[in-house]
Amino acid sequence: MRPPLYVTRPLLPDLAELNILLESVWASNIITNIGPLHQKLEQELRQVLGVPTAMLFNNGTIALLAALKLFKLPAKSEVITTPLTFAATAHAIDWNGLVPVFVDVLPETLTIDPAAVELAITDKTSAILGVHVYGNVCELDALQRIADRHGLKLLYDAAHAFGTTVDGTPIASFGDGSAFSFHATKLFNTVEGGLLATKHPEDANDIYFLRNFGIKNEEEVVSIGINGKLNEMQAAVGILNLALVDEERRQRSVLREKYLSFLSKIDGVLCQPVQPGVSNSEQYFPIQIDAEIFGRSRDDIYEALKLENIFARKYFHPICTDFEPYRDFKTYSVHNMPYVETVKTRVLCLPFHSGVTDEDLKVIERVFLAT
Amino acid sequence: MRPPLYVTRPLLPDLAELNILLESVWASNIITNIGPLHQKLEQELRQVLGVPTAMLFNNGTIALLAALKLFKLPAKSEVITTPLTFAATAHAIDWNGLVPVFVDVLPETLTIDPAAVELAITDKTSAILGVHVYGNVCELDALQRIADRHGLKLLYDAAHAFGTTVDGTPIASFGDGSAFSFHATKLFNTVEGGLLATKHPEDANDIYFLRNFGIKNEEEVVSIGINGKLNEMQAAVGILNLALVDEERRQRSVLREKYLSFLSKIDGVLCQPVQPGVSNSEQYFPIQIDAEIFGRSRDDIYEALKLENIFARKYFHPICTDFEPYRDFKTYSVHNMPYVETVKTRVLCLPFHSGVTDEDLKVIERVFLAT
């Protein structure tokens, strides 16, 4: 049996190099509380992400919680989002005492449909939370216009869009904030981790306080905050991983071309669309399988790959509105049946990291070409 | 100048031993998501803490957030707590859409005063959140009786009470739950970290879901949850530190006796009371300085120690009700002036860890005896 192949494989620094950084941490006795490595990594990420405010968190969900608090949204107000996302997006809304409202996605990019957003707006709406799913960029201009017209905050879940640029502009420059995830499964990881970025320099202080109990100094707590701090061990991993990201991204970009060389020729298999001016985040390799055209379903392919010890992911399936906490929530859509209901039967993320070999690709190609 | 001496110093495992565990983590590619080291540490802590349900978290504040969610308290209901605590206690209440209500503390143990709790109960009260401050144990029986009589949940912030027992019964067996902190400053640390313990085996599932997005399996999300997972690197530190805790505790217990040998003879300096049947958590060495009797104030001693490069902490001063977010909150008390207002001018935590030398103690003694 071949060793199991998963969709992601964590980027990990050389342990000997990590050990050198850990020696300095151990020697200083400063192992957390926004120590020197945390500060260094945050500074580097501010450069990489190209925004004035980029604040590290212990994970992406806590970054989302903090973003929603930053906006001071009224209790029980509604936040419009997509059901085609990781459960954390909706959970963060609910946990903060807000109400998620789900709307449909666009057929190609699978990002939130601005026309559906318009349908969902009520006098209780306070924010839109778009998701750059698979690194596909949301309809930035349309969403901003809607937000402006209705006086809504516009937040992005950028967990899949690390390093993405749009016509050279960093993704985190759009809207009122972008939450990133640096979880093990992400291109850039700090084991667990996250970051909240905004284009407003003045947000940095507020986010700092949200992340660290509102502590200003030894004698002052100026606002409400929780513990969103990343520790020095994880900051050390981040510093080393950041130096490896470009090479991992390059290898994934080559892998993408190899996938496309056979998948793009298959009728009924739709690969990730190219958005003009948008750089690919190289986070995932999602496809949509139209069973009627292709002749076999997404689930067939998933199972066939599994027999080869290759674990693709039906990502995202089920979608948020299938989950118990959100089962009774409707999905606003311009269609009779929300398109996302079709998408969830079609999407599949294939193994996508530098550990995928040509041998693996041959097996995957064989599975797709088998009749 | 002597090197700076702080109240705490993180217990840290040998880096070479840590490296061996990290090698296994790196080899497995399982660096988080409740991996084998997380499971091992959690299992060990369940034994150490002597309760059926003991679930690790990424920090103590997130454990508190999860505990308050576990109880399904009505939105905007009131949680009675003490102002003599770290800001996180009150912030966790507020962040979850609940209202903190502050009540006075008892003069000796500085824990929440049951008589003041009674005064604060309204028809909006849903829970009591007691704090075993400095490892002093709350009035367990009195609080439980009040909770039972009024149908309130009873939660404990046990951040200072790791390993504490009462007549041999583990501290986490009391009330409906206990949140621990494994922050760097705590006797037992996982760099950052926390744990939620309860006496109810059936809570384990619910807490598991609160900690990990409500994910039951690849296809089911059964409840609302956030990301409270501790990663494998920190679990590795925890496993190694757990083996060091007994020796650190022993050394602190010797240090405590040395402190007592000179401080207990000083009029106006009140050392931590001995509670019958209660084991000392050896987390802090707090004193109360009565300036009228002692002749010098707590702040005088604090500054005098600072001149010697010894950084005691006015812990907790200011108290929660001094902080901007809670400044307009009253403190319920059986006294005209809440006793906690006096306490906050008197408490001082002295350096308390195995790195405090006899030389250091001589300097501290000299500062106290100087006139």
- The Cα B371–Cα B69 span in angstroms is 52
Q: Encode pLDDT of A190-239 as tens digits.
A: 999 999 999 999 999 999 999 999 999 999 999 999 999 999 999 999 99
Nearest CA to CA, how far is B141 from chain A (Å)?
Answer: 30
> Does the pLDDT of residue A275 top 80, yes or no?
yes
Cβ–Cβ of A231/B234 closer than 8 Å? yes
pLDDT computed for residue B297 by the predictor: 98
Q: Order of strands across the sheet with B347-350?
A: B269-271, B285-289, B347-350
Structure tokens at A6: 């998963």
For B6, name the nearest residue in chain A, comparing CA atoms only.
A29
Nearest CA to CA, how far is A276 from chain B (Å)?
Answer: 34
CA dist A222 → A58, B170, B320 (Å)? 21, 36, 11
DSSP three-state, residue B167 = coil
Contact A233, A37 (CB under 8 A): no
- Which of A5, A227, A230 to probe by mutation at the B interface, max B CB count within 10 Å? A227
- Which of A9, A96, A323 to probe by mutation at the B interface, max B CB count within 10 Å? A323
Cβ–Cβ of B325/A9 closer than 8 Å? no
For A16, name the nearest residue in chain B, comparing CA atoms only.
B19
pLDDT computed for residue A1 by the predictor: 77
pLDDT confidence tier of residue A2, bands split at 50, 70 and 90: confident
The residues, ordered by sequence, that sit 6+ positions from B265 with a Cβ below 8 Å of its Cβ are none
Q: Encode pLDDT of A280-335 as tens digits.
A: 999 999 999 999 999 999 999 999 999 999 999 999 999 999 999 999 999 999 99
Among A61, A231, A194, residue whose Cα is nearest residue B238: A231
The residues, ordered by sequence, that sit 6+ positions from A314 with a Cβ below 8 Å of its Cβ are A298, A299, A302, A344, A347, A348
Q: Encode pLDDT of A47-77 as tens digits.
A: 999 999 999 999 999 999 999 999 999 999 9
Q: Locate the domains of chain B by residue range.
A: 15-242, 246-369
Q: Order of strands across the sheet with B194-198?
A: B53-57, B194-198, B177-181, B153-157, B125-131, B78-81, B99-103, B331-332
Which of B91, B222, B231 lies nearest to residue A225, judging by beta carbons?
B91
- The Cα A178–Cα A180 span in angstroms is 6
Among A156, A173, A171, A162, residue whose Cα is nearest residue A52: A173
Chain A residue numbers touching B91 (CB-CB < 8 A): 213-214, 224-226
Contact B163, B139 (CB under 8 A): no
Q: What is the mean pLDDT of residues A142-151?
A: 98
CA atoms within 13 A on the CB side of B54: 25
Whose tokens are 């998963």? That residue is: A6
DSSP three-state, residue B89 = helix
- Which of A188, A192, A311 to probe by mutation at the B interface, max B CB count within 10 Å? A192
Chain A residue numbers touching B317 (CB-CB < 8 A): 219
- The Cα B130–Cα B143 span in angstroms is 9
> What's the mean pLDDT when you consider all of chain B?
97
Which architecture does CATH list for B246-369? Alpha-Beta Complex (3.90)
Fold category of A15-103+111-242 in CATH: Aspartate Aminotransferase; domain 2 (3.40.640)
Positions of chain B with pLDDT under 70: none
Chain B residue numbers touching A231 (CB-CB < 8 A): 184, 191-192, 234
CA dist B284 → A83, A199, A268, B252, B360 (Å)? 48, 43, 66, 9, 16
Which phi and psi angles does B348 have, rounded to 5°?
Answer: -150, 130
- The Cα A7–Cα B299 span in angstroms is 58
Structure tokens at B364: 């501290």
Chain B residue numbers touching A60 (CB-CB < 8 A): 227
Q: Within a 10 A sphere around the Cβ of B357, how many other Cβ atoms?
A: 13
Cβ–Cβ of A192/B231 closer than 8 Å? yes
Helix then strand count (H, E) for chain A reads 13, 17
Structure tokens at B248: 């650190």
The residues, ordered by sequence, that sit 6+ positions from B55 with a Cβ below 8 Å of its Cβ are B42, B63, B195, B196, B197, B204, B207, B208, B211
Chain centroid offset of residue B188 CA: 11
Q: Encode pLDDT of A73-111 as tens digits.
A: 999 999 999 999 999 999 999 999 999 999 999 999 999
For B215, name the nearest residue in chain A, comparing CA atoms only.
A87
Please report the number of interchain residue pairs, chain A to chain B, with beta-carbon separation below 8 angstroms.
170
Q: Encode pLDDT of A330-365 as tens digits.
A: 999 999 999 999 999 999 999 999 999 999 999 999
- The Cα A137–Cα B5 span in angstroms is 51
Which of A15, A69, A229 lies nearest to residue B22, judging by beta carbons?
A15
Q: Which CATH class is domain B15-242?
A: alpha beta
pLDDT computed for residue B181 by the predictor: 98
- The Cα B75–Cα B95 span in angstroms is 11
Chain centroid offset of residue B99 CA: 21
Whose tokens are 């945050």? That residue is: A42
Contact B183, B60 (CB under 8 A): yes
Which of B88, B97, B225 lies nearest to residue A97, judging by beta carbons?
B97
% residues pLDDT > 90 (chain B): 99
Cis peptide leading into residue A294 (ω within 30°): no
Nearest CA to CA, how far is A212 from chain B (Å)?
Answer: 9
